[in-house]
Structure 1
Amino acid sequence: MITGTTPAGHRVSPIFLGIVAVTSVSGWAVWAGFAEQPGFAVFLFVTAAWIASLCLHEYAHARTALHSGDITVGAKGYLTLNPFAYTHALLSIVLPVLFVIMGGIGLPGGAVFIERGRIRGRWRHSLISAAGPLTNVLFAVVCTAPFWLDALDGVPPAFRNALAFLALLQVTAAILNFLPVPGLDGYGVIEPWLSHSARRAVEPFAPFGLIAVFALLWVPELNRAFFDAVYAILRGLGVHGFWTDCGLDAYRFWQGANPVCEVAG
């Protein structure tokens, strides 16, 4: 019987709605200049928006898997956008936020477990893996819309800088997720096209892929090359590196305000 109600496993979680509410309220506080030093509001705004994007990233994986044949994702809570449904809270929320604080890098967080045996066709498997980082690409396009549309008139500098920094996180997340490294989505895109022996050989390294990428980013030369590419993409979208850097400075409000950013506005 059709009741017209949404199954419990498909309803949007109140936790996600709370995250959206924090994003909205803190974004308004940054825009309105609620405080003389907007750093804490910027921190809340960027962190909440970043967690929301993590939820949407994993939701995209799950929704694509659902339409590809894995009907178990609803019962697992993956369609509720609840960040706690994606593996472990430490992986889903704490570590990604710590990565942002430590290095201004949008590394991937939680994960959804897809029952791949239910899915037929290599293209479907690849699309499921690609759906997450493509969500980060879409998020980056939305965040940078005021910049590439040249619609910054009237946008307060603090909000502009916060949005620029949030865009940087989305761009870094998209690039890193698309790397063909075991354990990341980029490898999931190409894995269905590899031979069985190649997949078996790579499988033991999957748990360490993310750790290896994070470690490599601490190598100065690789870090510089990576961020050169990130800033080049942002410039192509109309986002100046100065705005992004000031957004990061405001996000790390505990370090004190950057006088250069305050003067430049």
Structure 2
Amino acid sequence: MTSAVAPKREHRRPSPVFLGLVAVLAVSGWAVWTDFARATGVAVFLFVVSGWIVSLCLHEYAHARTALHGGDHTVAAKGYLTLNPLRYTHALLSIVLPVLFVILGGIGLPGGAVFVERDRIRGRLRHSLVSAAGPLTNVVFALALTAPWWLGTVDTMPAPFRFALAFLALLQVTAAILNLLPVPGLDGYGVIEPWLSPSARRQAEPFAPFGLLIVFACLWIPGIGAVFWDVVDAVLGMLGVGQGETYYGLEYFRFWDGDPQAGLVPVTLGR
């Protein structure tokens, strides 16, 4: 077991991988805003994908940082505080699948994972906070992305950038909602797990590896998918973002499907 020592400075420093992602996000955002080289669709794709991966890094960083303050100092030596997505427990689950879900269905499903040594953390409330920290980061990210709408400054933005921002906000809302579901393997279950009886935890444990797949499969059921998207649209609506804006954001993102200006509204998972 890794010894519990105070994090070193290099364990806290943002990794070059994360800084590179932020650079891609900034440059692609500028390209969308200015319509650089008239490659708006490609720029929107890079902007959304890099922004989505950055949010995954921040999500997992929040888990690790909360665990650090809860008593698990091993998260630092594992590299979780460097915001490097390659440090997560499984690269496929951390990066590839979440991006694939966005491309295929326009939905932000939970991604990366950090291994927290729970035996080092004392108190049920601390355990719950470690699990809740990730989805709350998505909530904060969604609020930041939708700030131009609820501050009344969105009309100053070029339309493609506005749509890209709306679609990226949609991904954060879907990720927050799905992560908070009390399904074994997801953060929502991690919030309530410390408060369950030992027998209930034992019964739920076998389902944890399949929780994400079960949720994904359920979203293909028309009734469940429709309710889910109604909730997502309602949340975004309260923040001022319209359905048309997220639709066109997805259309720009999937630039290979055709011209976003053609007026065709894409079909997203469960809608």
Distance 1:139 1:60 in 2: 12
Give the aligned partner of residue 31 of structure 2: 29
Q: How far apart are 1:123 and its partner, in Å? A: 0.4
For 1:107 and 1:119, how far apart are their aligned partners in 2? 27
Q: How many residues align?
A: 258
Give the structure-2-normalised TM-score: 0.93
Give a deviation string over 1:215-261, Cα, whole Å, max 9, x none: 01111111111001101110110001101000000000011113345
2:121 aligned partner = 119
Q: Which whole-Å CA distance do the structure 2 matches of 1:92 and 1:225 have between them?
A: 27
Identical aligned residues as a percent: 69
Measured after TM superposition, the shift of residue 89 of structure 1 is 1.4
Partners of 1:106 and 1:81 in 2: how far apart?
A: 19
Aligned with 1:82 (options 62, 81, 84): 84
1:40 aligns with 2:42: yes
Asked whether 1:181 is paired with 2:171, we answer: no
Correspondence for 2:144 among 127, 142, 145: 142
* Letter in structure 2 aligned against 1:161: F
Q: Secondary structure at the match of 2:146?
A: helix
Are residues 1:251 and 2:256 paired?
no
RMSD of equivalent CA atoms: 1.3
1:120-155 per-position Cα deviation (integer Å, ceiling 9, x unaligned):
110000000000000000000000000111111320
Structure 2 residue runs without a partner (length 5+): 1-6, 265-271
Q: 1:154 is aligned with what amino acid?
A: T
Residue 219 (str. 1) matches residue 221 (str. 2): yes
Partners of 1:195 and 1:133 lie apart in 2 by 24
Summarize the alignment of residues 57-136 of structure 1 with structure 2, pairs less than 5 Å apart: 57-136=59-138
SS of match in other structure, 1:73: helix
Cα distance, 1:36 vs structure 2: 2.5
TM-score by length of 1: 0.95
Question: Gapped runs of 5+ residues in structure 1?
Answer: none
Question: Can you list the C-alpha shifts for 1:96-137, whole angstroms capped at 9, x where unaligned?
Answer: 000001111100111111111111110000000000000000
